[in-house]
Structure 1
Amino acid sequence: MTAGLAARVERRTPAGRDRTVDALRAVSTAGVVAGHWLVSAVVSDPSDPSRLHGESPLSSAPYLAPASWLLQTLGPFFFAAGYAAMRSRGRTRARRLLRPVLAFAAVWVSAFAVLAAVGAPQSTRHVVGSLVTHPLWFLLAYLALSALTPVLRPLVARAGPWAAAPPLALVALTDALRGSDVPAWWVLVMVPVGWSVPYLLGMALAQGRLPRGAGLPLLAAGVTGGAALVLWFGYPASAVGVPGDRFSNLDPPSLFAMALASAQLGLYLLVRPWLAGVLRRPAAWAPVALLNLAAMTVFLWHQTALLLVTFAALPAGRPRGLLDPPDGTWPLARLLWLPAFAAALAALTAVFHRFEAIRREPLPGGRDDPQRVRQ
């Protein structure tokens, strides 16, 4: 990050912008991307390298569950989304979402047609489809909550952070019903209901109803509640779904997912004043601002980057950390592939970011003036 680029980003940033929320969104995006790259093992069949299937390193290495607590950052993401919903126009948010999604869909519909035409094995098409489409479920939750923002706004104005209590109670009820014959529609509905808890807290912060003093209670409740759920009530320790677990803490979001979000957001509120000071430095702020400008593009294409590197490595057999079973030292070997994934993602972002930008302007640092950094 050059000093000149950082200075240009600084000049284009509105004076009243809360940079700490942008940092929280950037950390959330990076956490989701890194988490998917580290747990999405694509394994090839030794007798038929074109036949791929998916596995999770968490299945054979449960001691890695604490890493999922750091990398499962959906609570902070929806918190930042709730904050932004209070300070931006719904039409602008929908436009920034729709264009990159349509571009992504156009590319992948064609790619799936090619895979079918060349006779790719069913298991290969299944794992590719799962990796590409499964992360997109959050878009539906985000759209639902965005559409409900006009209804939620007066509730938060009256109740402040306590507006999150009713959906939290529904999450607890759903957990109590796990294992029984819960209708599929209820599970689908509970995805946006569950993530409305941090979303409403973000709205409360935007309205000045969530003070820094709430940080310590949220952190303490999240840590103690999460520990109790795992140790005494049999909740899976992993913050993401693991084959073989009794259930997934994300399908739909469980009380453990809410406890994790509470701890993460409590920590954020505690460090927010210090973080605001750090982000006043142009060199610290510029990477946060640039990632936020391309956040949707990065999210949509990060698993495509993983697949591009994976398919490119097929002629090499089964390199350690890529295309081999995720056991033993696989997690350490996987770390060595992250720069390759990141390089592929950077190339994809350079190509497809134009669909996310509201105005057809380059990112800061080009010959023309950069677009303003938006909330």
Structure 2
Amino acid sequence: MAAIRHLAHRIDTATPPDRDRAVDALRAFAVLGVVLGHWLVTALVADGGELHTSSPLQQLPWLAPVSWLFQTLAVFFLVGGHVATRGYATARAQGTPYHRWLTSRLSRLFKPVAALLTLWTLATTALLLSGTDLATVRTLAKLALSPLWFLVVFAALTAATPLVARLNPLWPLAVVLHVDLLRFGLGAPPAVGWVNLAAGWLVPYTLGAAWTRGELDRPRAGWVLLAAGTAATAGLVVWAGYPASMVGVPGSAVSNLDPPTLAAVTFGLAQCGLALLLRERLRHAMRRPLAWAAVAFVNLSAMTIFLWHQTAMMATTALGLPLGRLPGLHTPPDGLAWIAARLLWLPAFALLLSVCWAAFHAYERGRPRTRSRVVRTRSRVVRTRPSSDRTPPAGARRV
């Protein structure tokens, strides 16, 4: 414990004093919310030699409020828009060309993807050659690759940062409203809804840009977003027939996320308002070295955690198959007993995720021989692993 405290203190003292730790805390909470949400509401049911997905929200719809806690993508896009617009403004001030800035940002997103695609290409091929049921292979591959849709959307919005940096969030919100009117009010083809895949997440992204411009610094902005978003979401669910669950539910006629609906967007506005209101408390909490070290670790490992958390859950499920249909792991999520059992499996999922982290984190941080830094100042470097070079280069780099 003393060693952990010492390392946390080193990370804390090596963090640049002007870094906004609340931004990192919000990003960490958003990533962990998505992970825990998937682990709690996604079930792989073993049935007659075949695996298929199910959800406790399908069998126990009164659990819909659980999805309100763990559907945190809007916060991630809020932080992403804030960081991207701030970074682009800095790059312009330094004379960095747009293509170089964009390449740098996108490389951080897509470097870890190569490892995921390689492993699952090999795994899918091996499963098919071994005679595994095609439906099972499709289920596993879909779950493993499902995080990639988020990266595509996030990359597209990042590339459009110079165009949307000053866009008022009301414009994409209006697009979402009209698309839903066409879909649900005028009987337009369901494919029209996919316009909201960009417009829906553009709303919190442009809110992040407004944060960068200083337009959301007053507490009133957070309260307005929280109150208006909550009221609008409640009205849409109670009177307009939108699903109460803010994540997809297998078998449901309408999903709030696939593609995003107006209810998902207004719910995201409420989340963004709450996030803005919590900034000062988070900054205060992040003064504690242990809390800041944990947040710094999640931020440095964000892509690895996000990309591999589904694989960790499926690996645990596969390893348990020889032992029979284990409650909370292979059984239908149809009661409180399943929920209690699933909570007991979360440490096992985390353990397998740590194995994935150990195996693939190097791809997120760069080549194995490249230095990996948690934080750095001009006179101090804190490393997550030893460097093969004896002398660190001059200059300063911030994470």
TM-score, structure 1 length as denominator?
Answer: 0.92
Match for residue 371 of structure 2? 361
- Percent of aligned positions that are identical: 48
Match for residue 14 of structure 1? 16
Given candidates 118, 133, 158, the residue that maps to 2:145 is 133
Match for residue 159 of structure 1? none
Superposed CA deviations along residues 21-51 of structure 1, whole A, max 9, x for unmatched, are 1111100100100111111111112x43xx1
Note the 1:300-315 alignment, pairs <5 A: 300-315=307-322
**CA 1:64–1:183 in 2, change beyond 3 Å: closer, same or farther?**
closer
Structure 1 residue 97 corresponds to structure 2 residue 112 = no
Match for residue 171 of structure 1? 176
Q: Tell me, in whole angstroms, the C-alpha distance in 2 between the residues paired with 1:181 and 1:172.
A: 14
RMSD across aligned positions (CA): 1.8
Structure 1 residue 106 corresponds to structure 2 residue 111 = no
Superposed CA deviations along residues 113-167 of structure 1, whole A, max 9, x for unmatched, are 11111111012112102211223211111011011001112x24xxxxxx11111
Note the 1:1-375 alignment, pairs <5 A: 2-45=4-47, 47-48=48-49, 51-88=50-87, 89-153=101-165, 155-156=166-167, 163-179=168-184, 180-182=187-189, 184=191, 186-211=192-217, 212-328=219-335, 329-358=337-366, 360-362=370-372, 364-368=383-387, 374=399
Maintained 8 Å contact 1:8/1:365: no
Q: Tell me, in whole angstroms, the C-alpha distance in 1 between the residues paired with 2:80 and 2:361.
A: 20
Q: Tell me, in whole angstroms, the C-alpha distance in 2 between the residues paired with 1:373 and 1:340.
A: 34
Once the 2 structures are TM-superposed, how far is the Cα of residue 183 of structure 1 from its aligned partner?
6.1
Partner amino acid, structure 2, of 1:75 = A
Match for residue 160 of structure 1? none
Maintained 8 Å contact 1:6/1:285: yes
Once the 2 structures are TM-superposed, how far is the Cα of residue 14 of structure 1 from its aligned partner?
2.2
Maintained 8 Å contact 2:196/2:261: no
Partner amino acid, structure 2, of 1:204 = A
Q: Tell me, in whole angstroms, the C-alpha distance in 1 between the residues paired with 2:144 and 2:194.
A: 19
Once the 2 structures are TM-superposed, how far is the Cα of residue 219 of structure 1 from its aligned partner?
0.8
Maintained 8 Å contact 1:13/1:372: no
Maintained 8 Å contact 1:289/1:373: no
SS of 1:66 mapped into structure 2: helix
Structure 1: 5+ residue runs without aligned partners? 157-162
Maintained 8 Å contact 1:142/1:192: no
**CA 1:204–1:22 in 2, change beyond 3 Å: closer, same or farther?**
same
Superposed CA deviations along residues 154-197 of structure 1, whole A, max 9, x for unmatched, are x24xxxxxx1111101111121122534363x433421221010
Q: Tell me, in whole angstroms, the C-alpha distance in 2 between the residues paired with 1:12 and 1:97.
A: 25
Structure 2: 5+ residue runs without aligned partners? 88-100, 375-382
Superposed CA deviations along residues 203-262 of structure 1, whole A, max 9, x for unmatched, are 111221212320111111111111111111111000011134331001221111112211
**CA 1:219–1:27 in 2, change beyond 3 Å: closer, same or farther?**
same
Once the 2 structures are TM-superposed, how far is the Cα of residue 5 of structure 1 from its aligned partner?
1.4
Structure index of larger Rg: 2
Maintained 8 Å contact 2:45/2:332: yes
Q: Tell me, in whole angstroms, the C-alpha distance in 2 between the residues paired with 1:235 and 1:225.
A: 11
Q: Tell me, in whole angstroms, the C-alpha distance in 1 between the residues paired with 2:339 and 2:60.
A: 9
Higher relative contact order (CA 8 A, sep 6+): 1
**CA 1:372–1:292 in 2, change beyond 3 Å: closer, same or farther?**
farther
Structure 1 residue runs of 4 or more that deviate by more than 3 Å after TM superposition? 186-189, 362-369
Maintained 8 Å contact 2:179/2:195: no
**CA 1:354–1:229 in 2, change beyond 3 Å: closer, same or farther?**
same
Q: Tell me, in whole angstroms, the C-alpha distance in 2 between the residues paired with 1:30 and 1:261.
A: 17
Once the 2 structures are TM-superposed, how far is the Cα of residue 99 of structure 1 from its aligned partner?
1.0
Q: Tell me, in whole angstroms, the C-alpha distance in 1 between the residues paired with 2:329 and 2:277.
A: 39
Q: Tell me, in whole angstroms, the C-alpha distance in 1 between the residues paired with 2:350 and 2:230.
A: 32
TM-score, structure 2 length as denominator?
Answer: 0.87
Q: Tell me, in whole angstroms, the C-alpha distance in 1 between the residues paired with 2:226 and 2:284.
A: 22
